[in-house]
Amino acid sequence: MKILAIGRNYTAHIEELNNERPDEPVIFTKPETALLQKNAPFYYPDFSSNIHYEVEIVLRICKHGKYIDKKFAHNYFDAIGVGIDFTARDLQDKARAKGLPWDLSKGFNGSAPISKFIDKTEFTDIKNLDFSLKLDGEQKQHGNTSLMLFKFDEIISYISKFIMLKKGDIIFTGTPKGVGPIAIGNKLEAFIENEKLLEVEIK
Ligand code: MG
């Protein structure tokens, strides 16, 4: 399986990091070794001193496809979960300043905690889905999928032109505003609507 992700997909988050609004989706990948499942703890690595949480809705791909037309893209994912796109902001800023790739700042071990997946038919409207993140009990991020610049179908269609999607792949769909640093001892909790689906302790 592979992990794909879109950056800069919520206007308010683009503004908080002083980034440019993209004309096309900004796509990056994380290796499979970034996955953290079943509420496993995250161990703060020594190569960064500024790791940020980014809560995101995650799609699970259910069949192979390339050059997927936008109007059929909904057939290619069957379930939704919530995840955190941990980002070593200090490494990312350094890479961005030099025009170098983001890979290490986004793809390090444990940088992709995800919840269980829920069948998408269990949601009333996935185009209007609330999600949020609490740090030590305090809400830090709150988003709604209606505010995405590139919607699920557009993301799937766009990625599949370049990279064939396969069953079991997952896609992180971007973070709303409110990103911030984590510290050892913190507890993160991620929600879809009012249901807590993910918990990560920082060790
Ligand atoms: Mg992100």
- Distance in Å, CA 85 to ligand 1 centroid: 5
pLDDT of 17 reads 84
pLDDT of 13 reads 83
Average pLDDT over residues 118-143: 97
Q: Say if residue 67's pLDDT is above 90.
A: yes
- Distance in Å, CA 57 to ligand 1 centroid: 10
In this structure, are strands 130-135 and 55-61 parallel, antiparallel, or unpaired?
A: unpaired
pLDDT of 33 reads 98
Burial of 99 by CB count in 10 Å (0-12 exposed, 13-18 middle, 19+ buried)? Answer: exposed
- Distance in Å, CA 103 to ligand 1 centroid: 13
Indicate the pLDDT class of residue 50, thresholds 50, 70 and 90: very high
- Distance in Å, CA 124 to ligand 1 centroid: 25
Which residues keep their CB under 5 angstroms from ion ligand 1? 54, 85, 175
pLDDT of 88 reads 98
HSE (side-chain half, CA atoms, 13 Å) at 122: 10
pLDDT of 21 reads 80
User: Domain spans of the chain?
Assistant: 3-201
CATH 3.30.1600.10 fits 3-201, yes or no: no
- Distance in Å, CA 7 to ligand 1 centroid: 5
Q: Which residues contact 140 (CB under 8 A, 6 or more apart)?
A: 53, 133, 134, 178, 180
- Distance in Å, CA 62 to ligand 1 centroid: 22
- Distance in Å, CA 24 to ligand 1 centroid: 16
**What percentage of the chain reaches a pLDDT higher than 70?**
100
Indicate the pLDDT class of residue 19, thresholds 50, 70 and 90: confident
- From residue 20, how far is each of 10, 55, 60, 85, 143 by CA, in Å? 11, 20, 28, 20, 20
The answer to whether the pTM exceeds 0.85 is yes
Per-residue pLDDT tens digits for 70-102: 999 999 999 999 999 999 999 999 999 999 999
